[in-house]
Structure 1
Protein backbone atom coordinates (compact mmCIF):
# COMPACT_ATOMS: atom_id res chain seq x y z
CA UNK A 1 0.00 0.00 0.00
CA UNK A 2 2.35 2.72 -1.09
CA UNK A 3 1.53 6.17 0.18
CA UNK A 4 1.55 8.41 -2.88
CA UNK A 5 1.27 11.73 -1.01
CA UNK A 6 0.25 13.19 2.32
CA UNK A 7 -1.52 16.53 2.34
CA UNK A 8 -1.56 19.05 5.18
CA UNK A 9 -5.18 19.98 5.86
CA UNK A 10 -5.81 23.72 6.11
CA UNK A 11 -9.24 25.04 7.14
CA UNK A 12 -10.13 28.43 5.64
CA UNK A 13 -13.17 30.71 5.59
CA UNK A 14 -13.02 31.58 1.89
CA UNK A 15 -11.30 29.41 -0.71
CA UNK A 16 -11.00 32.14 -3.34
CA UNK A 17 -9.37 34.48 -0.82
CA UNK A 18 -6.98 31.77 0.44
CA UNK A 19 -5.84 30.34 -2.89
CA UNK A 20 -3.45 33.15 -3.99
CA UNK A 21 -1.36 32.70 -0.83
CA UNK A 22 -0.99 28.95 -1.37
CA UNK A 23 -0.32 29.36 -5.08
CA UNK A 24 2.45 31.82 -4.20
CA UNK A 25 3.85 29.57 -1.44
CA UNK A 26 3.97 26.45 -3.61
CA UNK A 27 4.49 27.91 -7.07
CA UNK A 28 1.66 25.65 -8.24
CA UNK A 29 -1.88 26.18 -9.43
CA UNK A 30 -4.63 24.06 -7.83
CA UNK A 31 -4.42 20.47 -9.16
CA UNK A 32 -7.95 19.66 -8.08
CA UNK A 33 -10.84 21.86 -6.99
CA UNK A 34 -14.26 20.48 -6.06
CA UNK A 35 -17.23 20.69 -3.72
CA UNK A 36 -18.17 18.02 -1.21
CA UNK A 37 -21.18 18.30 1.05
CA UNK A 38 -21.11 21.93 2.29
CA UNK A 39 -17.38 22.43 1.63
CA UNK A 40 -15.21 23.75 -1.17
CA UNK A 41 -11.84 22.00 -1.46
CA UNK A 42 -8.67 22.46 -3.46
CA UNK A 43 -5.31 20.69 -3.62
CA UNK A 44 -2.38 23.08 -4.05
CA UNK A 45 1.08 21.60 -3.73
CA UNK A 46 1.16 19.65 -0.48
CA UNK A 47 -1.94 21.34 0.96
CA UNK A 48 -5.59 20.37 1.01
CA UNK A 49 -7.62 23.52 1.59
CA UNK A 50 -11.08 23.00 3.08
CA UNK A 51 -13.38 26.03 3.02
CA UNK A 52 -16.72 26.45 4.67
CA UNK A 53 -18.61 27.77 7.63
CA UNK A 54 -17.61 26.78 11.15
CA UNK A 55 -20.57 24.41 11.20
CA UNK A 56 -19.60 22.80 7.88
CA UNK A 57 -15.93 22.40 8.90
CA UNK A 58 -16.64 21.07 12.42
CA UNK A 59 -16.89 17.35 11.47
CA UNK A 60 -13.51 17.51 9.69
CA UNK A 61 -11.39 19.40 12.22
CA UNK A 62 -10.27 16.30 14.14
CA UNK A 63 -8.77 14.64 11.04
CA UNK A 64 -5.01 15.21 11.11
CA UNK A 65 -4.03 14.55 7.48
CA UNK A 66 -5.24 13.37 4.11
CA UNK A 67 -3.14 10.58 2.62
CA UNK A 68 -3.37 9.53 -1.02
CA UNK A 69 -2.85 5.78 -1.35
CA UNK A 70 -2.57 3.29 -4.16
CA UNK A 71 -5.12 0.93 -2.58
CA UNK A 72 -7.88 1.71 -0.12
CA UNK A 73 -8.43 -2.03 0.29
CA UNK A 74 -4.90 -2.35 1.69
CA UNK A 75 -5.70 0.38 4.24
CA UNK A 76 -8.82 -1.54 5.29
CA UNK A 77 -6.79 -4.71 5.83
CA UNK A 78 -4.12 -2.84 7.81
CA UNK A 79 -6.78 -1.14 9.94
CA UNK A 80 -8.35 -4.47 10.84
CA UNK A 81 -5.01 -6.12 11.54
CA UNK A 82 -3.70 -3.31 13.77
CA UNK A 83 -6.94 -2.52 15.57
CA UNK A 84 -7.90 0.84 14.09
CA UNK A 85 -11.46 2.15 14.04
CA UNK A 86 -13.21 3.04 10.78
CA UNK A 87 -14.97 6.35 11.39
CA UNK A 88 -16.41 6.85 7.90
CA UNK A 89 -16.41 5.00 4.60
CA UNK A 90 -15.27 3.57 2.43
CA UNK A 91 -17.41 5.68 0.15
CA UNK A 92 -17.41 7.34 -3.25
CA UNK A 93 -16.26 10.97 -3.23
CA UNK A 94 -15.63 13.46 -6.07
CA UNK A 95 -11.95 12.39 -6.30
CA UNK A 96 -12.47 8.61 -6.09
CA UNK A 97 -13.01 6.67 -2.82
CA UNK A 98 -12.16 7.66 0.73
CA UNK A 99 -12.04 6.25 4.22
CA UNK A 100 -11.41 7.92 7.58
CA UNK A 101 -9.64 5.89 10.27
CA UNK A 102 -8.73 6.48 13.91
CA UNK A 103 -5.54 4.52 14.44
CA UNK A 104 -4.33 3.04 17.74
CA UNK A 105 -2.69 5.91 19.58
CA UNK A 106 -5.31 8.42 18.42
CA UNK A 107 -4.20 9.66 14.98
CA UNK A 108 -7.18 10.25 12.68
CA UNK A 109 -6.34 10.09 8.97
CA UNK A 110 -8.43 10.34 5.82
CA UNK A 111 -7.22 8.00 3.07
CA UNK A 112 -8.11 8.63 -0.56
CA UNK A 113 -7.71 6.35 -3.56
CA UNK A 114 -7.92 8.68 -6.57
CA UNK A 115 -10.09 7.76 -9.52
CA UNK A 116 -8.20 6.74 -12.67
CA UNK A 117 -8.71 10.20 -14.22
CA UNK A 118 -6.80 11.89 -11.37
CA UNK A 119 -3.89 9.46 -11.14
CA UNK A 120 -0.60 10.57 -12.69
CA UNK A 121 -0.18 9.11 -16.16
CA UNK A 122 2.95 7.11 -17.00
CA UNK A 123 4.88 8.78 -19.68
Structure 2
Protein backbone atom coordinates (compact mmCIF):
# COMPACT_ATOMS: atom_id res chain seq x y z
CA UNK A 1 0.00 0.00 0.00
CA UNK A 2 1.20 3.50 -0.79
CA UNK A 3 0.08 6.73 0.84
CA UNK A 4 -0.14 9.23 -2.01
CA UNK A 5 -1.14 12.36 -0.06
CA UNK A 6 -2.53 13.43 3.30
CA UNK A 7 -4.71 16.43 3.99
CA UNK A 8 -5.38 18.17 7.28
CA UNK A 9 -9.12 18.72 7.57
CA UNK A 10 -10.26 22.27 8.23
CA UNK A 11 -13.94 22.78 9.03
CA UNK A 12 -15.34 26.16 7.91
CA UNK A 13 -18.69 27.91 7.64
CA UNK A 14 -18.31 29.08 4.04
CA UNK A 15 -15.92 27.73 1.41
CA UNK A 16 -15.79 30.89 -0.73
CA UNK A 17 -14.95 32.99 2.33
CA UNK A 18 -12.26 30.59 3.58
CA UNK A 19 -10.50 29.74 0.29
CA UNK A 20 -8.68 33.07 -0.34
CA UNK A 21 -6.81 32.85 2.98
CA UNK A 22 -5.76 29.25 2.39
CA UNK A 23 -4.71 30.06 -1.17
CA UNK A 24 -2.53 32.88 0.20
CA UNK A 25 -1.09 30.69 2.96
CA UNK A 26 -0.21 27.80 0.65
CA UNK A 27 0.54 29.65 -2.57
CA UNK A 28 -1.66 27.03 -4.26
CA UNK A 29 -4.91 27.05 -6.15
CA UNK A 30 -7.66 24.61 -5.18
CA UNK A 31 -7.08 21.19 -6.73
CA UNK A 32 -10.50 19.64 -6.19
CA UNK A 33 -13.88 21.12 -5.39
CA UNK A 34 -17.12 19.18 -4.95
CA UNK A 35 -20.21 18.63 -2.80
CA UNK A 36 -20.94 15.52 -0.76
CA UNK A 37 -23.71 14.75 1.72
CA UNK A 38 -24.65 18.37 2.36
CA UNK A 39 -21.13 19.81 2.64
CA UNK A 40 -18.77 21.46 0.16
CA UNK A 41 -15.13 20.39 -0.04
CA UNK A 42 -12.03 21.84 -1.64
CA UNK A 43 -8.39 20.76 -1.49
CA UNK A 44 -5.77 23.50 -1.41
CA UNK A 45 -2.16 22.76 -0.59
CA UNK A 46 -2.09 20.27 2.27
CA UNK A 47 -5.59 21.16 3.45
CA UNK A 48 -9.03 19.76 2.79
CA UNK A 49 -11.57 22.47 3.57
CA UNK A 50 -14.97 21.10 4.56
CA UNK A 51 -17.74 23.71 4.61
CA UNK A 52 -21.30 23.67 5.79
CA UNK A 53 -23.76 24.43 8.52
CA UNK A 54 -23.06 23.08 11.98
CA UNK A 55 -25.69 20.41 11.37
CA UNK A 56 -24.21 19.38 8.01
CA UNK A 57 -20.67 19.26 9.45
CA UNK A 58 -21.61 17.29 12.58
CA UNK A 59 -21.20 13.79 11.04
CA UNK A 60 -17.72 14.68 9.73
CA UNK A 61 -16.14 16.57 12.63
CA UNK A 62 -14.63 13.51 14.30
CA UNK A 63 -12.48 12.81 11.20
CA UNK A 64 -9.02 14.28 11.76
CA UNK A 65 -7.39 13.80 8.35
CA UNK A 66 -7.98 12.55 4.83
CA UNK A 67 -5.34 10.27 3.31
CA UNK A 68 -5.22 9.28 -0.35
CA UNK A 69 -3.98 5.72 -0.89
CA UNK A 70 -3.48 3.54 -3.94
CA UNK A 71 -5.81 0.80 -2.62
CA UNK A 72 -8.41 0.66 0.13
CA UNK A 73 -8.17 -3.13 0.30
CA UNK A 74 -4.74 -2.91 1.92
CA UNK A 75 -5.99 -0.32 4.42
CA UNK A 76 -8.84 -2.64 5.41
CA UNK A 77 -6.41 -5.52 5.95
CA UNK A 78 -4.04 -3.40 8.05
CA UNK A 79 -6.83 -1.93 10.17
CA UNK A 80 -8.26 -5.39 10.83
CA UNK A 81 -4.83 -6.84 11.68
CA UNK A 82 -3.92 -3.97 14.00
CA UNK A 83 -7.24 -3.92 15.86
CA UNK A 84 -8.77 -0.79 14.38
CA UNK A 85 -12.46 -0.29 13.69
CA UNK A 86 -14.17 0.46 10.37
CA UNK A 87 -16.64 3.27 11.00
CA UNK A 88 -17.89 3.68 7.43
CA UNK A 89 -17.25 2.14 4.05
CA UNK A 90 -15.96 1.37 1.66
CA UNK A 91 -18.34 3.86 0.02
CA UNK A 92 -18.62 5.34 -3.46
CA UNK A 93 -17.80 9.06 -3.25
CA UNK A 94 -17.46 11.84 -5.84
CA UNK A 95 -13.69 11.22 -6.22
CA UNK A 96 -13.64 7.39 -6.03
CA UNK A 97 -14.08 5.24 -2.89
CA UNK A 98 -13.56 6.05 0.76
CA UNK A 99 -13.30 4.34 4.10
CA UNK A 100 -13.33 5.91 7.57
CA UNK A 101 -11.57 4.07 10.39
CA UNK A 102 -10.77 4.52 14.06
CA UNK A 103 -7.20 3.45 14.66
CA UNK A 104 -6.02 1.82 17.89
CA UNK A 105 -5.37 4.80 20.13
CA UNK A 106 -8.40 6.69 18.84
CA UNK A 107 -7.34 8.58 15.70
CA UNK A 108 -10.14 8.78 13.11
CA UNK A 109 -8.93 8.97 9.50
CA UNK A 110 -10.70 8.93 6.16
CA UNK A 111 -8.87 6.99 3.44
CA UNK A 112 -9.67 7.67 -0.21
CA UNK A 113 -8.81 5.62 -3.29
CA UNK A 114 -9.10 8.05 -6.22
CA UNK A 115 -10.77 7.15 -9.49
CA UNK A 116 -8.86 9.16 -12.12
CA UNK A 117 -11.95 9.95 -14.22
CA UNK A 118 -13.93 11.14 -11.19
CA UNK A 119 -11.01 13.27 -9.97
CA UNK A 120 -10.78 14.93 -13.41
CA UNK A 121 -14.51 15.72 -13.20
CA UNK A 122 -13.99 17.61 -9.92
CA UNK A 123 -10.64 19.25 -10.65
CA UNK A 124 -10.60 23.03 -10.53
CA UNK A 125 -8.99 24.97 -13.33
| Structure-2-length-normalised TM-score | 0.92
**Counterpart of 1:36?**
36
Deviation at 1:61, TM superposition (A): 0.8
Deviation at 1:107, TM superposition (A): 0.7
- Distance of 1:105 and 1:17 partners within structure 2: 35
Does 2:44 match 1:50? no
Q: Where do 4+ consecutive residues of structure 1 move more than 4 Å?
A: none
- Distance of 1:76 and 1:11 partners within structure 2: 26
**Counterpart of 1:88?**
88
Task: Point out where structure 1 has 5 or more consecutive residues left out of the alignment.
Answer: none
**Counterpart of 1:65?**
65
**Counterpart of 1:102?**
102
- Distance of 2:32 and 2:23 partners within structure 1: 13
Deviation at 1:116, TM superposition (A): 1.9
- Distance of 2:70 and 2:97 partners within structure 1: 11
Q: Helix, strand or coil: the match of 2:58?
A: helix
- The RMSD of aligned alpha carbons is 1.0
- Distance of 1:29 and 1:94 partners within structure 2: 20
Deviation at 1:80, TM superposition (A): 1.0
